[in-house]
């Protein structure tokens, strides 16, 4: 690969707007393991916040993506690949960046928010139980009788 081609690829992956219009890759190999990246990101993003049980999984995925991005970028920087292979690496790096942006935009569910959500669910279950136990429906007491 020529020096100007290498610089062109590096500039492409470091550009602020490089992820605009780019889709998250369907699958990507990370540390020798194939990952269904798009499915994973969409599954997590559907929730809008990261529940406590998923936080470790998401953080681990972000660390692995950053590591993979760095390794691929170094291959271009060190001129270890042909220009065609460098283009494929750059495209993959931009896809990784897009996935990282999506995962970074998620807000972790705070401990307080999670506790409040659980308390609300418990209260609702308790009220439903009481209504059934006391024979009430949503409109007030049930009328029984002759």
- What pTM value is reported for the model? 0.66
Half-sphere exposure of 40 toward its Cβ, with a 13 Å CA cutoff? 21
pLDDT tens track for 25-37: 898 888 788 889 8
**pLDDT > 70? residue 111:** no
Task: Measure CA of the first residue to CA of the last residue in the chain; give whole Å.
Answer: 93
* 3-class secondary-structure state, position 145: coil
Domain boundaries defined on the chain: 3-109, 110-146
CB-based contacts of 87: which residues, under 8 Å, 6+ apart?
A: 9
């Amino acid at each position: 690969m020529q020096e100007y081609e290498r610089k062109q690829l590096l500039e492409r992956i470091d550009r602020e707007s490089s992820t605009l219009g780019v889709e998250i890759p369907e699958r990507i190999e990370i540390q020798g393991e194939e990952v269904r990246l798009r499915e994973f990101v969409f599954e997590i993003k559907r929730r809008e916040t990261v529940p406590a049980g998923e936080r470790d999984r998401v953080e681990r995925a972000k660390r692995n993506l950053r590591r993979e991005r760095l390794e691929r970028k170094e291959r271009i920087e060190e001129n270890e690949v042909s220009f065609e292979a460098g283009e494929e690496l750059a495209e993959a790096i931009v896809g990784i960046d897009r996935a990282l942006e999506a995962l970074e935009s998620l807000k972790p569910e705070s401990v307080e928010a999670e506790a409040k959500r659980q308390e609300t669910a418990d209260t609702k279950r308790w009220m439903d139980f009481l209504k059934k136990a006391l024979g009430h429906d949503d409109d007030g007491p049930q009328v029984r009788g002759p």
